[in-house]
Amino acid sequence: MQKITPFLWFDNEAEEAAKYYVSVFKEGRILNIARYGDAGPGPKGSVMVVEFELHGQKFTALNGGPRFKFDEAISFVIDCKDQAEVDYYWDRLCEGGGKPSMCGWLKDRFGLSWHVVPRRVIELMSDPDPAKATQVNAALLKMRKIDIAEAERAHAG
């Protein structure tokens, strides 16, 4: 059993969001859907909680009403092996009203923050030569979606 599970509070889009995330991440699946009963507080039969899994990571989504919203203080990092994977996740998570931000961050159409990061850029930023690492960081600060080739050029000077 997973010890810690991210718990996501939605207004009324828990099932829609879970199905969307499962469609974006190829190794995803809906595990369980619980519905409100006579005790409420939601309408009887409506979705209360959706449990789903993305690449082995379990999530719980609640339809809890409009009281709380997501913000950028929490995001989920997607470890990408190459530019094609960066492009795929960036494009899919921005579709339907998602909003690009800076340095590989974006908010999807539900307001959840994601950080789409290629492994290679982490390697470049971790270069023991501080000048090279600084050049990469400066280049990233000018990007929305991370461009590995541009980060490589910055690293090379």
- pLDDT tens per residue across span 70-114: 999 999 999 999 999 999 999 999 999 999 999 999 999 999 999
Task: Please check whether residues 63 and 79 belong to one and the same domain.
Answer: no
Longest dimension (CA), the chain: 65
What pLDDT score was predicted for residue 23? 97
Range of the domain at 74: 70-157
Confidence of residue 2 (pLDDT cuts 50, 70, 90): confident
What pLDDT score was predicted for residue 28? 97
Whole-model pTM: value is 0.93
Average pLDDT, the chain: 96
The enclosing domain of 28 has a CATH number of 3.30.720.100
Q: Pick the last residue of a domain from 68, 102, 117.
A: 68
Q: Pick the last residue of a domain from 22, 40, 68.
A: 68
The enclosing domain of 130 has a CATH number of 3.10.180.10
Task: Find out whether 118 and 146 touch, Cβ atoms under 8 Å.
Answer: yes
Is the pLDDT at 1 greater than 80, yes or no? Answer: no
Task: Please check whether residues 146 and 85 belong to one and the same domain.
Answer: yes
Phi, psi at 93, each rounded to 5°:
-80, -20
